[in-house]
A and B are shown apart, each in its own frame.
Chain A
Amino acid sequence: MERVVITGLGAITPLGNSVQEFWDGLKEGRNGIGPLTKFDGEAIDVHVAGEVKGFVAKEVMDRKSAKRMDPFSQYGVAAALEAVKDSQIDLDVTDPERMGVIVGSGIGGLNAMQDQIIKMHEKGLDRVAPFFVPMAIGNMVAGNISIATGAKGPNLSIVTACASGNNSIGEAFRTIKHGYADVMLAGGAEASINEIGMSGFAALNALSTNEDPNAASIPFDKNRHGFVMGEGAGVIVLESLTSALNRNAKIYGEITGYGATGDSFHMTAPSPDGSGAARAMKLAMSEAGITPSDVGYINAHGTSTPANDVSETEAIKAAFGDDAKNVAVSSTKSMTGHLLGGAGAIEAIAAVKALQEGIMPPTINLTTPDEACDLDYIENKSREKEIKYALNNSLGFGGHNAVTCFKKWEGQ
C-alpha cells in the first residue's frame, strides 16, 4: 500500500482566487460573504452570498476554452491549474497515464441549464445551443481539467451533493493507496448562485434570509437559520509518497484516512443523532490508525442550518466520546458560505494548511452560544496550536457522509 501525500493546492473562493488569499483570509477571520450581486433575490428574501470576485476566466485559460465552459468548470480548471503549477509536476517526468482526476460538483453547469431552458422556452426546441450539454453535464469539470493539465489516468466525477468534493478526495486517496495511479487531482467545483439554484434552496427554507453579511452564515450560533450560498472550487494534488520523494516535491501534509457512509434516513435532513456522520469519522480515524485523542482539529461541515449544526455536534460526540470536549472544531463556511460540491475541497485545504502552519481558522460571527452546540468552535479568532491530525467533515443531501483525515508532515 502506498502512503499518499499532498503536493499541490489550488482554490477559487469568495475570499480570493488563490490558495494564498483564501488561507490568509481564513487566518485573519475575514468574511468573504457580501451582498448578492448576480441577480435580485428580493422575491425569495435572499440578500447575501459568497460570490467569487474578480475572476476572469480568459486570464487563466484561452478565451475559446473559457467560452466553452460553464463557470463551475472554469473555477475547477483554474483551481487545478494553480494546484498543478504549485506541485511543480513535470509531465516529461511524471507519466501522464499515471496521473488522474476526480473532481465533482453538487449540481454541475446550472448556469448553462438555466440559460438554455429559458431559450428553449422562448425560442423553441430547435434553438437550444450545441454547447448546452457539454457545458451542463456535471462531469465536465473533470473532463476539462484532464484536457487542461494533460492527465490521462483515471478520470471521473463524484456527485454526492455537498459531500462531492470530500468524497472525491477520499476516493482519489484510495486510487493512489491501492496503486491505480501515482498522482490524482482531486476536489470539487460549484457555481450555482443564480435564479434557479438559489430559488430551489430557498424553497427548502435552507437559505439564510438575513441582510447582514455578518449575521447570515453563523454556524453553531443560536440565531442561525440557514446557509449562505457560496461558489468556487478547490483542487488538491495527491501523490504517492514514492513519487513525491523521487522528484523531491514540496509536501504539505499526508492523507491517512477516509470514511464514507450513508444515513439511510431522509432526502434532505441529517439523522438527528448524527450516527451516519459519526460512523464516517470513526472509519476515517480507523484507517488512519489513530484514536480521537490524536485529533487536534475538525473542519466541520457546519452549514449554519438549524438541523446540521446540532446533528453534527451530536455526531462528533458520538465519534469522539469523552474527547469531544478536547477537540477544536470550526466552520470556515462562516467566512466563505457554502460551496456545495466545492465545500469539502476548499475545507480540505484549510485543514491541511492548519496542520502545516499550526494555525486553526476560526468560526467567525459566533456571538450567541446555543446550548445544543456545546463544543469548542474556535470562536471568532484563529488559534495557534501545533496539531498532528485533522478531520474534514462533509455531509450531503441524500445522507452522504464523507470524512477525510490529514496528518501533519514531519518528514518520513
Chain B
Amino acid sequence: MSHNALDDSRSVEATRKVIPKLIALWIVTSLIASLLVWFVLGPHLPPGRMTDQAAGAQFDIRFVSTLVPPVLFFIWIFFGYSLIKWRVKPGEDPLAPAADFRGNSKAQGAWYIITTVVVLFLAAFGTYYLVVPAGAGGGEGPSPIWTPGVKNMLQVQVIAQQWRFTYRWPQFGGMETTSIFLPVNTEIQFNVTSLDVIHDFWAYQLGVKADANPDVNNVAFTKTQQLGRFTVRCDELCGVWHGAMYNYGYVVSQAQFQQWATQMETQNAAVTKLLPKYSTTYTPSYAGNGGGYYPPQDPNANL
C-alpha cells in the first residue's frame, strides 16, 4: 500500500499525537460521570436499604453503574472522533484507499488483557458479594450453603399458588396468614414453595427473590433493618392472573410483630387445626386436597 496516498490527517504521526488527547478526554469525562453516578445517583438506586440484602444489592448496582461511564465514554470517544475526523469530505474520492493496516499487536494485546482482567474482577466481585451477605437474598434451593450463621431465625414459609401468596409460621403454631408482617432487626429465613406451577416470590424492598417450585423448598435469607412497607410480586409467569398476583407486607417493630403474630395465631387457631401438618413442601393430593389442580377425573385419583 501506499501511505503516500494518505492525506496528513490519516498519517500515523498525526494520529499518534491525538491519542493522548483522546485518552485525557476519556479520563476526565469518565471521572466526572462516575463521580456523579456514585455520589448523586448511587444513594437513590433501588432496591433501597430496608434489609442487609437490599443494601448489598444497592451497593452492587451502584458499584457496577460507576464502572459503566468509563466503558461508554471510551467507545463513544473513539468512535465519535473517527466518524468526525475521517468522514469523507466533499470533493474527496470516497473510494480512495484509507490507511492500510490489518491490526496492531500492542492495541490488540492491551484490549485482550484489560477486558480479561475486568471480567475476572467482576466475577470475583460478584462472587464475594454473593457469599458474604448469605446468598444476597436469592433463592438457594433446599440446601443453602451460604447462611447467616444465626440460630433461631424467624421462619417464614411462603406458599405460592395460582394466584396468591400465603404464609405459614412454624414458630407460631404453624398458622397460615394471607398477610405478612416482619419484625425489624431480625434475621429471617424464607422457605418458598408452590402448590401448583412455578411462581416467584419477589419482595422488592427486602432484596429477596426466590422461585416457588412445586415440591421444592427454595430458601432465601434476609435481615431487616428499616421499618416500612414492601411489595410482594410474582416474578415468574404463572398463568392468566400472573399480573394480579401481588400484595404488600410490612416491616414493623418487634413488639408490634409479636402483637400481630399472637393475635393472628389466636384468630386462626380453628383454621390451623384443619391445615396439613407443617412441612417444607406440600405435594398436592391426587384427591384434590391441599390445592391440587388435577381434576377429579384424573386417572391417578384412585391410585
> Is A bound to B?
no
Residues of A within 8 A of B (CB): none
